[in-house]
Structure 1
Amino acid sequence: MDFNYQGKVAVITGSSKGIGRETAEQMVKLGAKVLLVARGEDALKKAAEEISAHGDVAYIVQDITEKNAAEKIVERAVEKFGRLDVLVNNAGSSFAKSFEDIDIPDWEDDIDLKVMSAVKMSKAALPYLKENGGAILNLTAVMGKTPQANSLPTTVSRSAGLALTKAMSKDLGKYNIRVNAVCIGLIRSNQIEKRWKNQAPDLSWEEYSEKSAGNIPLGRIGDTAEAANVITFLCSDLASYVSGTAVNIDGGSGHAW
């Protein structure tokens, strides 16, 4: 199968660690040139150095919530690589409380990071994506489809991300720009690994994963590579007729399609 990443350029936010980093490495291995974006320089530089063993990669240290950050990121990608074909809006955080426990500034910060940053990045990338067609991928969460108690404001931001994805796909299809989303469930992360080492250091990762699976039908926590596999596919030419959809990466635990 030909993913046709050769000569393509991708920007991936939140790509110093986790799913963003793994996605960047997969795309580079398939021939893409990737600009990594994150706030922490040490982790970002390390990721770029490691991924560069497989191909062409650059990075920019940038908080995407800052003024004009999106324009700076896109300009850096185009200056370095000459074009832009793929945008992965991955930057985010996990912040969840009950409605009465959340202050208004927390709402504003969460929406700014998870919704408005995707809007600003997509707007900045649009002139370049229109040149050759391309793909925008928004990372959201399974709970965005079925919000639970004590899940605010993150589930509201993630639900907005789903609506944004669908609406953008309708507007940008005429430029051959595909817009999709993935809804992340329980996936291995630095936070989960710390919990594992603190709570059950005597267990192997596989044992801890199975023990912590809870209501996940596949019976384990997902791996970052499994999430990156889906993202890499959706942004590739193999998914050339897929747009406006949101794919669950959750081991079957979600309660919505």
Structure 2
Amino acid sequence: MANSRFTTHAELFDLSGKYALVTGGTKGIGMMIARGLLQAGARIVVSSRNADACAQAQHELSEFGTVHAYPADLSKHDECRRLADHVTADFQRLDILVNNAGAMWREPLETFPDEAWDAVIDLNLKSPFWLVQSLLPALRAAGTADDPARIINIGSIAAIHVAQSPNYSYASSKAALHQLTRVLARELGPQHVTVNAVAPGPFPSQMMASTLEVVGDTIAATAPLRRLGRDDDMAGVAVFLASRAASYLTGAIIPVDGGIATTASGTP
């Protein structure tokens, strides 16, 4: 039977001793999450396709805790397996998997190319599935009934409402990732692994840079909370989902968007 004693506030969100992988953790939302997990006490691995970005992120994040970085092109199945082997080489368990690496392609309907589907679906949808496959033994080894291992998928509010920009493959891939989250949650719950998704709204990141440069002020003004996302907003939800505070939560899609996609009241 699970331990029913009251947990202190410090214990509730403490990740000391936990081991985490954050894909796409060298910039943007991934780095926000990596920093939050480190500050909560976890040891982490971050990945990116770019070796220089990995080295730079490891340097910047090291002030917060123990971090390693491995370059990997996760749009390829064999690269997902290679990264999984790196992550589990020293430890045969993984407490937290954050599937954050992703790609977006904006182009009008008339000219939207086949490659915009292949590139985006491979990284946004297939990659999280491949990593779960490869890392499932390590996640099972880490999880218990009282404190399950955690899979956190990074979806998007583009999968909840229809965005203004023509991002056909991106929105579709994130909607599929939300459903994959629910499917995996049902299957892996009995194996002491929870699976949840975060659906971010507009946060400062390389992916959103061009959009926010043009309409960032307008987006902030029409959000019910009248601002864009901040680093701590994303770090906070990631720490919550990875901690004992969320040990009874699985199959959830959590919008972190200032209310943009979840209310109809966001008009100035």
Taking structure 1 as the reference length, what is the TM-score of the superposition? 0.88
- The aligned runs of 1:152-191 (5 Å cut-off) are 152-190=168-206
75-84 or 228-237, which moves further after superposition? Answer: 75-84
247-256 or 208-217, which moves further after superposition? Answer: 208-217
- Counting matched residue pairs gives 248
- Specify whether residues 178 and 45 from structure 1 end up closer, same or farther in structure 2 by C-alpha distance, changes over 3 A only: same
- Corresponding residue number in structure 1 for 2:79: 69
- The aligned runs of 1:69-148 (5 Å cut-off) are 69-133=79-143, 134-148=149-163
Contact 2:92 2:141 in 1 (8 A): no
Q: Return the match for 1:247 from 233, 236, 254.
A: 254
Quote how far apart the aligned CAs of 1:69 are.
1.3
Secondary structure in 2 aligned to 1:22?
A: helix
Contact 2:23 2:46 in 1 (8 A): yes
Partners of 2:159 and 2:210 in 1: how far apart? 25
Quote how far apart the aligned CAs of 1:191 are.
5.5
Secondary structure in 2 aligned to 1:213?
A: helix
Contact 2:104 2:120 in 1 (8 A): no
Quote how far apart the aligned CAs of 1:218 are.
0.9
Contact 2:152 2:196 in 1 (8 A): yes
Quote how far apart the aligned CAs of 1:233 are.
1.0
Structure 2 counterpart of 1:236, which letter?
S
* Runs of 5+ unmatched residues, structure 2: 1-8, 144-148
RMSD: 2.2
- Specify whether residues 106 and 210 from structure 1 end up closer, same or farther in structure 2 by C-alpha distance, changes over 3 A only: closer
Partners of 1:256 and 1:231 in 2: how far apart? 23
Q: Report % sequence identity.
A: 29
Structure 1 counterpart of 2:227, which letter?
R
* Runs of 5+ unmatched residues, structure 1: 200-207
2:66 maps to 1:56: yes
Deviation string for 1:130-155 (max 9, x for gaps)? Answer: 11210001101101122346230111
- Specify whether residues 17 and 180 from structure 1 end up closer, same or farther in structure 2 by C-alpha distance, changes over 3 A only: same
- Specify whether residues 145 and 211 from structure 1 end up closer, same or farther in structure 2 by C-alpha distance, changes over 3 A only: closer
Quote how far apart the aligned CAs of 1:213 are.
1.5
- Specify whether residues 160 and 212 from structure 1 end up closer, same or farther in structure 2 by C-alpha distance, changes over 3 A only: closer
Partners of 2:47 and 2:123 in 1: how far apart? 14
Quote how far apart the aligned CAs of 1:95 are.
1.7
